[in-house]
Structure 1
Amino acid sequence: MHTVHAVMAVKHRDRAKSRLSAVLSADQRARLVLAMFADTVEAAAAVPAIGSLTVVTPDAVVAARARELGAHVLAEPPADRDPLNTALTAAADDVRHRSGPVRLLALQADLPALRTAELTDFLAVAPATRAVVIDHTGTGTSALLAGTAPDALAPRFGPDSARAHREYGAVVVPGHWPGLRCDVDTPEDLDAVRALGVGVHTADALREFGITTHRSDPVRTVC
């Protein structure tokens, strides 16, 4: 299995997860963003094939937590339009400037039920060129893999990103990876990852909010 360098983008916590406002306060959402991010990073960092993790964020608290977890941190570049894809592209360019023409993995930062084994399996079975993991909605993207240079990361995250990535040449990789497919944007998503079992940081945060959850391995629930 070839080494892959992961990139993630995290917006300011105060502006994140607005669709959870029906069930969580602004402070709770900010804390949940940080907790889910930490669980995602820890699960990804334990994958043997991942050689580094680069995080782009404008949030000082997220940046500090990323450094604590061993990630390389970049400030969010200015972008009048499409800040997420601009940030991921900047991270990809920085990684290849530092590490050469390596394979790249763009990973969502809100995968609190992610298991290391799921991401390890995806990287083992993915083709050497472009590949995509479609999220639990069937239209979004939870992970995008690019081959070595000159294959650019070329992220197309946003509405209907799964289709956009396929149209740019990414191969859809099937697999039973419910934690890898379950990003959290809505109360229903939060219920889904709670059923799967979340990482310790998310579980602690939810417990403080009065929301029960559990973590069980192996994953048997389909998201």
Structure 2
Amino acid sequence: MHTVHAVMAVKHIGRAKSRLANALSTEQRAQLVLAMFTDTVVAAGAVPELLSLTVVTPDPLVAVRARELGAHVLDEPPAGADPLNTALAAGATDVRERHGPTALLALQADLPALRPSELADVLAVAVSARSVVIDHTGTGTAALLIRDPTAPLSPRFGADSARAHRDDGAVPLLGHWPGLRCDVDTPEDLDRVRALGVGEFTTSALREFGFSSHSGDPVRTVC
């Protein structure tokens, strides 16, 4: 069985994606974050092996959207110096308190080009106790999968997280999953996912911002 329970963490959307400040206003960045989160959840939710999604967030708009999409929502705990990993660890603990021993997936929340088939393939091929999907930069982490049903999630997202997760015993997965590997932090990332084809919510947001479509830009659909 390749079933898993997923966890995402999303901070206040008004404070997110500062590296897009030269391309988008604060309000536009907040709208884009919510749109990308929605497309990520829609894609993940189309994977039968994903049994539940828990979203840890302090943001009321994210919480409302997550509940609308069928996710369980957990308030962000006091974080100290490491809010993302603290939130993901809290989400993992909450999942096992509700579901018992189970496999865990920590997934980035800004993967607007994610295809359900990519995530399903990851769940099928990841047989190690701890696996990592390294992002397109080669240094970040798109997803962390824990197959051992009682092992802690021990997330190490942040700067050079790919190395940190490998050093913690995670085996890098080598499949061709461009949508899964491409989170969005910079204008170049945004161009990259647009070329891959983003989901309908991100597409709508970008059109509202006045981004002209590239000729032949694909639009990701979830069947």
Report TM bin, short chain: over 0.9
Question: Does the alignment pair 1:169 with 2:172?
Answer: no
Secondary structure, counterpart of 1:175 in structure 2: coil
Distance (Å, rounded) in 2 between the aligned partners of 1:172 and 1:186: 24
| d(CA) in 1 for partners of 2:107, 2:136 | 15
Alignment of 1:22-101 (within 5 A): 22-101=22-101
Q: 1:97-135: per-residue Cα shift (whole Å, max 9, x none)?
A: 000110000000000000000000111011141000000
Which position in structure 2 is the counterpart of 1:139?
139
1:209 equivalent to 2:209? Answer yes
What is the CA–CA distance in structure 1 between the aligned matches of 2:195 and 2:51, rounded to whole Å? 31
Separation (CA, whole Å) in 1 of partners of 2:68 and 2:134 = 30
AA of the residue aligned to 1:24: L
Structure 1 length-normalised TM: 0.95
Q: Which moved more, 1:178-187 or 1:145-154?
A: 145-154
Secondary structure, in 3 states, of the residue corresponding to 1:40? helix
Q: Does 1:158 align with 2:161?
A: no
Q: Match for residue 191 of structure 2?
A: 191
Offset of residue 151 of structure 1: 1.3
* CA deviations over 1:134-169 (Å, ceiling 9, x no partner): 000000000000123321110000000000000000
Closer/same/farther in 2, CA of residues 158 and 195 from structure 1, 3 Å limit: same
- Counterpart of 1:58, as a letter, is P
Q: How many residues align?
A: 218
Tell me what 1:221 maps to: none
Same amino acid, percent of matched pairs: 71
Aligned equivalent of 1:4:
4
TM-score, length-normalised on structure 2?
0.95
* Contact 1:199-1:215 within 8 A present in 2 as well: no
Distance 1:150 1:104 in 2: 10
Report the counterpart of residue 129 of structure 2 in structure 1.
129
CA distance in 2 between counterparts of 1:103 and 1:215 reads 33
CA shift, 1:215, in A, is 2.8
- What is the CA-CA distance between 1:212 and the residue it aligns to? 3.2
Structure 1 CA distance, aligned partners of 2:136 and 2:212?
Answer: 22
Moved more, 194-203 or 119-128: 119-128
1:14 aligned partner: 14
What is the SS of the residue equivalent to 1:190?
helix
Please say if residues 36 and 202 of structure 1, whose CA atoms lie closer than 8 Å, have aligned partners that are also in contact. Answer: yes
CA distance in 1, matches of 2:102, 2:80: 29
User: Contact 2:199–2:220 at 8 Å: present in 1 too?
Assistant: no
8 Å Cα contact 1:39-1:111 kept in structure 2: yes
1:2 offset after TM fit, Å? 2.4
Q: Separation in 2 of the partners of 1:151 and 1:8?
A: 18
Q: Which amino acid aligns with 1:56?
A: V
Secondary structure, in 3 states, of the residue corresponding to 1:53?
strand
Partners of 1:3 and 1:120 in 2: how far apart?
10
* Cα offsets for 1:161-199 (capped at 9, x unmatched): 000000000000101100000000000100100111100
Could you tell me which runs of 5 or more consecutive residues in structure 2 were left unpaired when the two chains were aligned. none
Give unmatched runs, 5+ long, in structure 1.
219-223
